[in-house]
Amino acid sequence: LTERLESAFKNLKGEARINDLNIANTLKDIRRALIDADVNYKIAKEFTDKVKEKATGSKVINAISPGQLMVKIVQDELTELMGGEEAQFNITGNPAIILIAGLQGSGKTTFSGKLANYLKTKKGKSPLLVAADIYRPAAIDQLMVLGEQIGVDVYSERENKDAVAIAQNAIKEAKSKNKNVIIIDTAGRLAVDEVMMTEVANIKDAVKPQEILFVVDSMTGQDAVNTAKAFNERLDFSGVVLTKLDGDTRGGAALSIKYTVEKPIKFVSSGEKLDTLDVFYPDRMAQRILGMGDITSLVEKAQSQFDEEQAKKLEKKIRKNQFDFQDFLEQLQQIKKMGNLKDLMGMIPGMGKAIKDVDISDDAFKGVEAMISSMTPYERANPDSITPSRRQRIAKGCGKEMADVNAFMKQFDQMRQMMKMMNKMPMGKMPGMRR
Ligand code: GDP
Ligand code: MG
């Protein structure tokens, strides 16, 4: 516990930069995390190598370790890679045509229902669902049931075995019924197959969709990449829908697919209920894929709150044995600015559970803060000037007992003794200092 906290909070003497040595273990961890999340091995390696190269030489600010900074940089890169420019969803055109493609069982029909419901309730559109799965009569029934649930019309032709014709007829139907978006749910196969690809490609050529969404089951892991590649080569789709994220998959497929086909992930699906269509949040996905706790927030907080200049000044004061009550108060406030102490510790991977029931309250600081607040600026800057009569006044001023003030004075004195001792030691032997 202390060790981890130590590396999270200190590095007061920090002049560290990211180099091969101080992040070797972290890099290994990151790579393992990616592979565990089903990211293709080659992609995981390529990606981390690239990020490492970019990060080497980055200056590590106080309060975090080079490894933590590296995790943050990786997480940022991952977010950037998956998010990049804001993904647009094009529903202009009358009717706007959206083609849904993917393997059987990937979640196309469920997603079609979700999308229709979303466009109807959130975008004020009037959608028409089209059943273009001509092989399984049950597929038509499934879409009809979904349509009924959300109050959206479904177009189907049970006797017609020409998916292209059905799609074209559906457009006519949409026009005559004033539907402004049509969602074409196509047939899938269990594996990539020429007949399926040709059929979808033919529909694409015939109806010229504004959007072609490739639906992929996030639980299929590494296979997802090959499937995405095959579909993209034939269809040049406009976006990816990642489904079944409510499962326990870490979602590495999101990274692999984005890396391989360079198409935006436009939606995610996490459940069979039709009333939620989830927007894709690259930052959350990055975090999920890495599965390394909320290091990013910890690092960000440390970065934003710890002022490097101030740390240098403080270091100088400690060196010269001039650390006083004002410095102490400022340090306390810094820690408090970083958030609730318990929350802060909870962000360290593995710590959250361990401290769930432990009472770490910020109140512990309150008494100390009150006492320092009752000191005059002169007293704060000159701890040795605080005579018993001054202590009496301080105790009265903050509503504490004289004994509390005495105890605090003693603690503070011990702290200063420690600092003195540390200053006498050669750098390498300092307790708690790496390097
Ligand atoms: P299609 O063959 O591509 O049309 O896939 P379906 O939409 O019929 O979905 C296949 C199965 O996966 C069905 O049992 C769905 O209920 C289920 N399913 C679809 N999307 C999700 C999802 O986001 N989460 C979960 N848990 N199940 C899903
Ligand atoms: Mg289906």
Ordered by where they begin, the domains of the chain are 2-85 (1.20.120.140), 96-279 (3.40.50.300), 307-429 (1.10.260.30)
- Please give the C-alpha separations between residue 341 and each of 65, 227, 307, 352, in angstroms, as whole numbers: 19, 46, 19, 12
Q: Which residue's C-alpha comes closest to atom 10 of ligand 1?
A: 105
- The pLDDT assigned to 429 comes to 44
Tokens 């060196």 locate to: 319
pLDDT of residue 361: 58
pLDDT at position 346 is 57
Q: For residue 366, what pLDDT is reported?
A: 78
Q: Evaluate whether 130 touches 170 at the Cβ level (below 8 Å).
A: yes
Q: What is the pLDDT of residue 5?
A: 43
CA 252 – ligand 2 centroid, Å: 24
108 lines ligand 1 (CB under 6 A): yes
pLDDT tens digits for range 30-81: 888 888 888 888 889 999 998 888 888 887 766 677 887 888 888 889 888 8
Contact 275, 306 (CB under 8 A): no
Q: How far is the CA of 105 from the centre of ligand 1 (A)?
A: 6
End-to-end CA distance of the chain: 20
Which residue(s) pair with 99 in the sheet? 184, 212
Amino acid at 4: R
Instruction: Note the pLDDT of residue 66.
Output: 80
The answer to whether the CB of 56 falls within 8 A of the CB of 70 is no
Instruction: Give the torsion through C-alpha atoms of 333, 334, 337, 341, to 10 deg.
Output: -90
- How many angstroms separate the alpha carbon of residue 166 from the centre of ligand 2? 16
The whole-number pLDDT of residue 317 equals: 80
Q: Tokens 């200049």 appear where?
A: 309
Q: Is the CB of 141 under 6 A from ligand 1?
A: no
**Three-state SS annotation for 48-60:** HHHHHHHHCCCEC
Asked if residue 218 has its Cβ within 6 Å of ligand 1, the reply is no
Phi, psi (rounded to 5 degrees) for 123: -115, 5
What is the phi/psi pair of residue 267, to 5°? Answer: -145, 160
Smallest CA-to-CA distance from 228 within 259, 191, 257 is with 257
Q: What is the pLDDT of residue 152?
A: 97
Locate tokens 């109050």: which residue?
151
Q: Which residues contact 291 (CB under 8 A, 6 or more apart)?
A: 33, 36, 37, 250
How far apart are alpha carbons 26 and 39 in whole angstroms?
A: 17
Separation CA 377–CA 73 (nearest Å) = 42
Helix axes 24-36, 282-290, angle to 10 degrees: 100
Collapsing DSSP to helix, strand or coil, 245 comes out as: coil
CA distance 220 to 253: 8
Q: Is 246 annotated as a binding residue?
A: yes
Is 110's C-beta closer than 6 angstroms to any atom of ligand 1?
Answer: yes
Binding site membership of 367 for ligand 1 (Cβ less than 6 Å): no
| Cα 390 to Cα 376: distance, rounded to the nearest angstrom | 10
Q: Which regions in the chain score pLDDT beneath 50? A: 1-2, 4-15, 349, 427-435
Q: Where are the alpha helices (DSSP H) in 274-324?
A: 282-290, 295-305, 308-319
